């Protein structure tokens, strides 16, 4: 009989890349019976995964309160062997499941205390105190979970002394999902389009600097910037529309995985212009690896993690993310040196093939699960032996 896994998220969409397309699919292919609880229009069955729909909550507070209660009810109804949750707001739900004797895995996407400084709904004078409180609560809870999954080595290092059963599961791309049949697609007729792909388009992710950089490019280059993702509020696009360079921007909105893959395969270069916020400085942006997987050169913020990856692979140009002139210079160089751009794309693609693919991370995920059940079986066998001895 297949082991049952229930994956829980209240904040992410049902077909989130890490949650659904990577982890859930990997577990289902390995023979686990997977149920995903997430906000969606209706229940359904997708790629062997049972989707159990939650309402789409109208406000953050609604999601924290009624949303968490709805997740808890759905989780109990699943009667799973393992519960794998993805949002810090679900920590109370996860602790209740532990009280029921359930195995619980916390999947930590970001270093939460380091994100407090740029949360717009938290007053800046309170950020320091809120950050310390959040870290204390998160660390305390994580001691009680069956296992932790960290999205980056940096996050893993933070929790190493909190819970010994921790695995780092890097957010590397599924090569078969993104690569072109001609990948690395250097010989394709790529248009002079520069691409940003993300779940959200925000100021902290370089929206304004990218648009200003487009306004600094020579007219004869005829380059366009394509933005994929959801706007972070209605104010942002209205503000960007007043900037020089906006006439060179094409907003594509959120796209499914097939749409993202199509844009990656036709783009000339990809941008990762994150601001120097504490959480971003230490992050491994998934879009960086997706650009590399598509065989296109990358222009990225000059942060230590990105610097190490890009310098090792020789796949792009590092820039000051707050300097539109520097970003524009990097764009112009790639557009006017197509042979070098092609070579960067080839090297990035090969680096993903050799080192940065989901196939390697999948093995770590499956090992974590098998180890959980192995320890469970060993514990039961030990209890039986003790009973026989008595």
Question: Considering the entire predicted model, what is its pTM?
Answer: 0.84
Whether domain 175-354 has CATH 3.40.50.2000: the reply is yes
Q: Which of 23, 9, 83, 81 is nearest to 363 (CA)?
A: 23
Distance in angstroms (rounded) separating the CA atoms of residues 201 and 203: 7
Q: Which residue, chain included where needed, has tokens 């969606």?
A: 40
pLDDT in tens, the chain (390 residues): 679 999 999 999 999 999 999 999 999 999 999 999 999 999 999 999 999 999 988 888 888 888 899 999 999 999 999 999 999 999 999 999 999 999 999 999 988 777 766 666 777 776 778 678 878 889 999 999 999 999 999 999 999 999 999 999 999 999 988 865 444 444 445 678 999 999 899 999 999 999 999 999 999 998 999 999 999 988 999 999 999 999 999 999 999 889 999 999 999 999 999 999 888 998 899 999 999 999 999 999 999 999 999 999 999 999 999 999 999 999 999 999 999 999 999 999 999 999 999 999 999 999 999 999 887 654 444 433 444 344
**Which parts of 100-228 fold into alpha helices (H)?**
112-115, 127-142, 153-159, 175-178, 207-216
Fold of 4-171+358-389: Rossmann fold (3.40.50)
Could you state, in order of their start, the residue ranges of all structural domains in the chain? 4-171+358-389, 175-354
Would you say the CATH fold of 175-354 matches that of 4-171+358-389? yes
């Amino acid at each position: 009989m297949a082991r049952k896994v229930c994956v829980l998220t209240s904040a992410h969409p049902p077909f989130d890349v890490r949650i659904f397309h990577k982890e859930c699919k990997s577990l289902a292919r390995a023979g686990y019976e997977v149920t995903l609880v997430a906000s969606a229009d209706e229940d359904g069955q997708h790629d062997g995964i049972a989707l159990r729909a939650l309402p789409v909550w109208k406000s953050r507070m609604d999601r924290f309160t009624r949303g968490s209660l709805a997740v808890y009810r759905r989780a109990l109804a699943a009667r799973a062997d393992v519960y794998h949750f993805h949002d810090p707001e679900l920590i109370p739900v996860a602790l209740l499941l532990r009280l029921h004797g359930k195995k619980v895995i916390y999947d930590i996407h970001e270093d939460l205390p380091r994100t407090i400084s740029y949360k717009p709904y938290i007053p800046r004078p309170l950020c320091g105190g809120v950050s310390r409180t959040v870290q204390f609560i998160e660390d305390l809870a994580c001691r009680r979970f069956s296992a932790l999954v960290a999205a980056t080595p940096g996050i893993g290092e933070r929790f190493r002394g909190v819970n010994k059963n921790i695995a780092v599961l890097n957010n590397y791309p599924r090569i078969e999902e993104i690569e072109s049949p001609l990948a690395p697609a250097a010989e394709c007729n790529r248009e002079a389009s520069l691409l940003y792909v993300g779940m959200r388009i925000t100021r902290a992710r370089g929206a304004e600097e990218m648009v200003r950089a487009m306004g600094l490019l020579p007219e004869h280059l005829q380059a366009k910037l394509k933005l994929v993702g959801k706007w972070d509020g209605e104010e942002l696009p209205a503000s960007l529309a007043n900037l020089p360079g906006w006439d060179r921007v094409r907003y594509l909105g959120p796209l499914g995985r097939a749409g993202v893959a199509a844009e990656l395969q036709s783009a000339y270069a990809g941008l990762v212009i994150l601001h120097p916020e504490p959480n971003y400085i230490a992050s491994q942006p998934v879009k960086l690896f997706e650009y590399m997987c598509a065989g296109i050169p990358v222009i990225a913020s000059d942060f230590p993690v990105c610097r190490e990856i890009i310098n090792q692979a020789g796949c792009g140009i590092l820039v000051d993310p707050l300097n539109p002139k520097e970003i524009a210079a990097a764009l112009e160089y790639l557009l006017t040196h197509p042979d070098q751009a092609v070579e960067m794309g080839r090297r990035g693609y090969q680096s993903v093939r050799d080192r940065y693919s989901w196939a390697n991370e999948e093995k770590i995920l499956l090992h974590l699960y098998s180890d959980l059940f192995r320890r469970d079986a060993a514990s039961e066998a030990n209890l039986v032996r003790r009973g026989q001895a008595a």
